[in-house]
Amino acid sequence: MFPNLKLQIFRRGSHQNRLAKAVGIDETVLSKIIHGYRTPTASQRMVLANYLEADEKWLFERYEEAPLQSFVDSKDLTGDKKAGKNGDL
pLDDT in tens, 35-45: 889 999 999 99
The domains located in the chain, with CATH, are 3-59 (1.10.260.40)
Provide CB contacts within 8 A for 36, sequence distance 6+.
1, 2, 62, 64
Mean pLDDT computed over 43-51: 96
- pLDDT higher than threshold 80 for residue 30: yes
